[in-house]
Copies of this chain bind each other. A is one copy, B any other.
Amino acid sequence: MNINHTLNEVLVRLFRNINMIEERALRTGEYKDVTTNDMHVIEAVGMEGAKNMTRVARSLEVTTGTLTIAINSLVKKGYVDRTRSEEDRRVVLISLSEKGKRAYLHHRKFHEQMIDSIVKELTEEEQAVLEKALTKLAQFFQTS
Protein backbone atom coordinates (compact mmCIF):
# COMPACT_ATOMS: atom_id res chain seq x y z
CA MET A 1 0.00 0.00 0.00
CA ASN A 2 2.69 2.44 1.03
CA ILE A 3 4.98 1.54 -1.84
CA ASN A 4 2.02 1.64 -4.18
CA HIS A 5 1.19 5.09 -3.02
CA THR A 6 4.73 6.38 -3.52
CA LEU A 7 5.01 4.76 -6.93
CA ASN A 8 1.73 6.24 -7.95
CA GLU A 9 2.76 9.71 -6.80
CA VAL A 10 6.02 9.56 -8.72
CA LEU A 11 4.47 8.13 -11.85
CA VAL A 12 1.60 10.58 -11.87
CA ARG A 13 3.95 13.51 -11.54
CA LEU A 14 6.24 12.17 -14.25
CA PHE A 15 3.39 11.50 -16.63
CA ARG A 16 1.69 14.79 -16.12
CA ASN A 17 4.80 16.88 -16.51
CA ILE A 18 6.85 14.83 -18.87
CA ASN A 19 6.38 16.97 -21.95
CA MET A 20 6.83 20.23 -20.13
CA ILE A 21 9.89 18.90 -18.35
CA GLU A 22 11.51 17.56 -21.46
CA GLU A 23 10.75 20.72 -23.40
CA ARG A 24 12.26 22.90 -20.70
CA ALA A 25 15.41 20.80 -20.72
CA LEU A 26 15.73 20.78 -24.49
CA ARG A 27 14.85 24.30 -25.56
CA THR A 28 18.15 25.94 -24.76
CA GLY A 29 20.64 28.02 -26.69
CA GLU A 30 20.72 27.07 -30.33
CA TYR A 31 17.52 25.06 -30.05
CA LYS A 32 15.17 27.63 -28.52
CA ASP A 33 12.73 27.32 -31.41
CA VAL A 34 12.30 23.52 -31.27
CA THR A 35 9.06 22.35 -29.67
CA THR A 36 8.71 18.89 -28.14
CA ASN A 37 6.69 17.96 -31.16
CA ASP A 38 9.43 19.21 -33.49
CA MET A 39 11.89 17.08 -31.57
CA HIS A 40 9.78 13.97 -31.99
CA VAL A 41 9.64 14.62 -35.71
CA ILE A 42 13.40 15.17 -35.82
CA GLU A 43 13.87 11.88 -34.00
CA ALA A 44 11.58 10.08 -36.43
CA VAL A 45 13.36 11.52 -39.47
CA GLY A 46 16.57 10.21 -37.92
CA MET A 47 20.20 10.25 -38.95
CA GLU A 48 20.19 7.43 -41.52
CA GLY A 49 19.52 9.37 -44.71
CA ALA A 50 16.31 10.41 -46.40
CA LYS A 51 12.86 8.99 -45.72
CA ASN A 52 9.57 9.70 -47.44
CA MET A 53 6.63 11.46 -45.81
CA THR A 54 4.32 8.46 -45.54
CA ARG A 55 6.90 6.36 -43.77
CA VAL A 56 7.71 9.05 -41.19
CA ALA A 57 4.03 9.88 -40.68
CA ARG A 58 3.26 6.23 -40.02
CA SER A 59 6.09 5.88 -37.53
CA LEU A 60 4.77 8.92 -35.66
CA GLU A 61 1.17 7.72 -35.94
CA VAL A 62 -0.09 10.96 -37.48
CA THR A 63 -1.64 11.68 -40.88
CA THR A 64 0.57 12.85 -43.72
CA GLY A 65 -1.36 16.12 -43.64
CA THR A 66 -0.24 16.72 -40.08
CA LEU A 67 3.32 15.82 -40.96
CA THR A 68 3.29 18.23 -43.90
CA ILE A 69 2.54 21.09 -41.49
CA ALA A 70 5.29 20.01 -39.09
CA ILE A 71 7.83 19.63 -41.89
CA ASN A 72 6.91 23.05 -43.35
CA SER A 73 7.87 24.58 -40.03
CA LEU A 74 11.03 22.52 -39.59
CA VAL A 75 12.20 23.36 -43.11
CA LYS A 76 11.59 27.04 -42.40
CA LYS A 77 13.54 26.80 -39.15
CA GLY A 78 16.37 25.03 -40.95
CA TYR A 79 16.30 21.63 -39.26
CA VAL A 80 15.06 19.55 -42.17
CA ASP A 81 15.81 19.39 -45.91
CA ARG A 82 13.04 18.47 -48.32
CA THR A 83 13.58 17.26 -51.89
CA ARG A 84 11.53 15.45 -54.47
CA SER A 85 12.57 11.94 -55.42
CA GLU A 86 13.97 11.57 -58.93
CA GLU A 87 12.81 7.95 -59.33
CA ASP A 88 9.22 8.67 -58.34
CA ARG A 89 8.27 12.32 -58.56
CA ARG A 90 5.25 11.90 -56.30
CA VAL A 91 7.57 11.11 -53.39
CA VAL A 92 9.01 13.77 -51.09
CA LEU A 93 12.23 12.88 -49.30
CA ILE A 94 13.02 14.47 -45.95
CA SER A 95 16.29 14.36 -44.05
CA LEU A 96 18.01 16.26 -41.24
CA SER A 97 20.11 19.29 -42.13
CA GLU A 98 23.42 19.76 -40.29
CA LYS A 99 21.56 21.85 -37.72
CA GLY A 100 18.91 19.13 -37.50
CA LYS A 101 21.58 16.53 -36.83
CA ARG A 102 23.06 18.66 -34.06
CA ALA A 103 19.61 18.99 -32.48
CA TYR A 104 19.11 15.23 -32.76
CA LEU A 105 22.37 14.56 -30.93
CA HIS A 106 21.60 17.20 -28.32
CA HIS A 107 18.35 15.44 -27.61
CA ARG A 108 19.94 12.02 -27.47
CA LYS A 109 22.55 13.31 -25.07
CA PHE A 110 19.80 14.54 -22.79
CA HIS A 111 18.31 11.07 -22.73
CA GLU A 112 21.67 9.46 -22.10
CA GLN A 113 22.34 11.79 -19.18
CA MET A 114 18.93 11.02 -17.80
CA ILE A 115 19.52 7.28 -17.95
CA ASP A 116 23.01 7.63 -16.51
CA SER A 117 21.74 9.66 -13.59
CA ILE A 118 19.45 6.78 -12.69
CA VAL A 119 21.69 3.84 -13.45
CA LYS A 120 24.82 5.10 -11.79
CA GLU A 121 23.06 4.93 -8.42
CA LEU A 122 22.16 1.25 -8.83
CA THR A 123 24.04 -2.01 -8.50
CA GLU A 124 23.93 -4.44 -11.41
CA GLU A 125 21.30 -6.49 -9.65
CA GLU A 126 19.23 -3.43 -9.07
CA GLN A 127 19.58 -2.44 -12.72
CA ALA A 128 18.22 -5.80 -13.77
CA VAL A 129 15.26 -5.38 -11.46
CA LEU A 130 14.54 -1.95 -12.83
CA GLU A 131 14.62 -3.21 -16.37
CA LYS A 132 12.15 -5.93 -15.50
CA ALA A 133 9.80 -3.45 -13.84
CA LEU A 134 9.88 -1.01 -16.73
CA THR A 135 9.27 -3.77 -19.23
CA LYS A 136 6.17 -4.67 -17.22
CA LEU A 137 5.09 -1.08 -17.33
CA ALA A 138 5.48 -0.90 -21.09
CA GLN A 139 3.54 -4.15 -21.46
CA PHE A 140 0.74 -2.80 -19.32
CA PHE A 141 0.36 0.11 -21.68
CA GLN A 142 0.54 -1.99 -24.80
CA THR A 143 -2.30 -4.26 -23.74
CA SER A 144 -4.63 -1.83 -21.97
Contact = CB atoms under 8 A, between A and B. Distances in A.
Interface of A: 3-4, 6-8, 10-22, 25, 40, 43, 61, 110-119, 121-122, 124-141, 144
A131 B3 contact: yes
Contacts of A15: 18, 22
Given A20-B61, A132-B126, A137 B112 contact: no
A119 to B, nearest CB: 6
Nearest to A8: B115
* 4 A-B pairs with least C-beta separation: A130-B133, A129-B129, A10-B134, A117-B140
11 contacts: A3-B128, A3-B131, A4-B119, A8-B112, A10-B138, A14-B134, A14-B137, A14-B141, A21-B144, A25-B141, A118-B136
